[in-house]
Amino acid sequence: MKMKNKNKNKNQTNRKEGESRRSFVQKTALATSALLTIPLGVEAMANVRGDKKLKLALVGCGGRGSGAAVQALTADQNVELVAMADAFGDRIEKSLKGIQEHFDGEKKINIPEKHRFIGFDAYKKAIDMADVVILTTPPGFRPYHFEYAINNDKHVFMEKPVATDPVGIRKVLEMAKVAKAKKLNVVVGLQRHYQSKYIDLKQRIDAGNIGKIRSGQVYWNDAGVWVKKRKPGQSELEYQMRNWYYFNWLCGDHILEQHIHNIDVANWFIGEYPESAQGMGGRQVRNGKDHGEIFDHHFVEFTYPSGAVIASQCRHIPGTMSRVDEVFQGTKGSIEIGKGEITDLEGNSQYKYPKKWGEDANPYQVEHDKLFASIRSGGVISDTENGAKSTLSAILGRMATYTGKKITFEEALNSQLHLMPESLTWDSTPPSLPDTNGNYPIPTPGKTKFI
């Protein structure tokens, strides 16, 4: 087991104060595990329980990461932001300014110059300094950052999706087991799981209020997201890192990056992951040189082991019908989550979620409240496996629309598709390159092969 000296010392110092009957029991349990040789978990937990100051590192300093940092610093009275990492220095400066302004002088931020780490390897230095890490880079990096964080005994908040390819998924699934064995808390930013409306409705589905789910429709249809234009002097790699939404190795297409939320709700409410998918998609409107290689619409039919069929549609086209929602039909009735309403087979209202707009607690805050409460109390939240499998479900959908073939979950899980390079430097060649006219190769159904 490799381990940094600094960590070793820290763990040794803390062993005494953290030693408890509980940690003894856990250590014993670990020792009996033949598969796992990871003795650090208990110490990692002992390290942060109780009132001890928790050190926080932010890896990926975009708007969402900065927002997550603020939520983490709000969730617990004794958390300090001690390290920030990003591929770009300007992102760190902007993020730090935003976080500082939010707290307006409160002493939760300890980021002198030497705690700001820039570049592709920066994440390691930032993670080394922390007890809890926020992983919010573009999703392609997530498996590698998560692996490092778990191997170094950190509690994790990571944004969805957790990978862009099956190689990454397999890594995250492997690390999910390690994290669990180490009793590390991992919260994945599929925040609907932390939103009271969804939790309330899910309980009613489990109680059988609409019977067994047979079909459903999940949507993320809207006008699309930001575009970053190419700037003079940028290398191809820097351009792609800045305009990352449009490159699959970094983003995974909007069916993954955004629509995962809705596909994940289908998985959660049905209680299964899809068995197979087939579908269609393309880029009809958002097809310029600034728009990389991703589609602007996908329509996928997911079939579940129980026979339930979910129609999943996501579209990024301005001027078209907008809807972000999940709807399910069961053997006894239907549910519309947007409306918060359950109806019987005749369409009569049976239940209406009582809270009005804005009365629910902010789920982005709740996910951090739960994470830190669990760390303090010695609990274990393990969102990783679901995060990985819902990520894979969306990747499966993308594979179906890109190839035009029917693909199974098993095939996707075992796929050799490897979009994300193992390691990157600013001299690396990005996986996707434009032709002489500046256009990128676009997936073509019927021609693009399943790998």
Partner 1 sequence: MIKKCMFFFLFSGYLFPQNEILIQNISGTEANIPMVYIPSGSFTMGSDKTEMGHFGDEGPKHVVSLDAFWIGRLEITWDLFNLFVSREIDQNQIDKSDDNETNTDVDAVSGATTPYVEMSFGMGIDGYPAICMTQLAAVKFCEWLSAMTGNFYRLPTEAEWEYAARAGSVSAYSFGNEVTQLNEYAWFSENSDEKYHLVGTKKPNAWGLHDMHGNVAEWTLDKYLPTAYMKRKKGVSNPLQESTRIYPKVIRGGSWMDSPKRLRSAARRPSSKKWKRRDPQIPKSKWWHTDAPFVGFRVVRPVKAPSIEEQKRYWNYELIN
Is residue 64 involved in binding partner 1 (CB under 8 A)? yes
User: 275, 325, 385, 411: which one contacts partner 1 (CB under 8 A)?
Assistant: 325
Least gap, CB of 67 to partner 1 (angstroms): 4
User: 16, 356, 447, 449: which one contacts partner 1 (CB under 8 A)?
Assistant: 356
| Sole window of 76-84, 144-152, 217-225, 300-308 interacting with partner 1 (rule: CB under 8 A) | 217-225
Is residue 39 involved in binding partner 1 (CB under 8 A)? no
Is residue 102 involved in binding partner 1 (CB under 8 A)? yes
Least gap, CB of 318 to partner 1 (angstroms): 6
Is residue 221 involved in binding partner 1 (CB under 8 A)? yes
Is residue 358 involved in binding partner 1 (CB under 8 A)? yes
Is residue 318 involved in binding partner 1 (CB under 8 A)? yes
Is residue 362 involved in binding partner 1 (CB under 8 A)? yes
| Sole window of 66-74, 197-205, 342-350, 409-417 interacting with partner 1 (rule: CB under 8 A) | 66-74
Is residue 204 involved in binding partner 1 (CB under 8 A)? no
Closer residue to partner 1 in complex, CB, 357/416: 357
Closer residue to partner 1 in complex, CB, 96/173: 96
Quote the tokens at residue 420.
């994300």
User: 3, 29, 31, 223: which one contacts partner 1 (CB under 8 A)?
Assistant: 223
Closer residue to partner 1 in complex, CB, 33/349: 349
Interaction site with partner 1 (CB under 8 A): 62-64, 66-70, 95, 97-99, 101-102, 191, 220-227, 258, 318-319, 321-325, 338-339, 356-358, 362-364
